[in-house]
Structure 1
Amino acid sequence: MEDDLESPKANNMEEEQEIGENGLKKKVVKEGEGSETPNDGDEVEFKLGRGQVIKGWDEGIKTMKKGENAVFTIPPELGYGESGFPPSIPPDATLQFDVELLSCTAAGSESAPVCCTIL
């Protein structure tokens, strides 16, 4: 995991924290368990860091622990940018997602893929 994408500390669960340098924000709703967070290539119903989802998801989910529930506020640059995603997402939209990481499988593992649930 990159050093600039630290997970907010448990005592900041009620505060939205900026993670990284691109304006991505995270508010932990429910703390996860353990210290393991996903890495590039790990499966979370998609492979992290491979461009299969918006960049804000790639960056934000890397900071989550198994069982954690967090709200991500994603700036346009890490979402759909100037073009948006018509008709549901307008250009330059800031996005907000409530995400729970149910499990995590390391890259190259033969186990079942991770499930990332959007609430």
Structure 2
Amino acid sequence: MSSVYAEGGNYRIELDEGIARCVVWRRPDVDGQTGAAWAKEKISHFKALARGPARALVFDLRQAPPVTGPKTQEALGQMLESFERARRPVAVLVGDHAVQKLQLQRVVTDCCPNVGVVFTDEAAAVRHAR
């Protein structure tokens, strides 16, 4: 049974049997600075999850903006680094946008190369996290 760990302006984090799942969605009514601020907000949540209750992470970005700016990419990297340091698996789930996939593959390669994998298939992402 999953429980809500945290919620913000464009995201929701749930925990289910030690697997954290963070879903991020697009908010066309807010500007890029606000979106980047929400990304930074998640950094502290990810650090706490990686230190404690989460043994793995599914980071679902399929509904997120398909292209991110440098501030958001930096924040994404910091989020993922916390799981790399804790040596806990990360499955980054992206949509069918080529730019999104390329950006996230670079972030994963740079920030969590030992534990992170980018997926387009939800079932494969969940298997990686288990």
Point out the structure with the larger strand share.
Answer: 2
Which is greater in Rg? 1
TM-score scaled by structure 2?
0.27
* TM-score, normalising length: structure 1: 0.29
Q: Which has the higher helix share?
A: 2
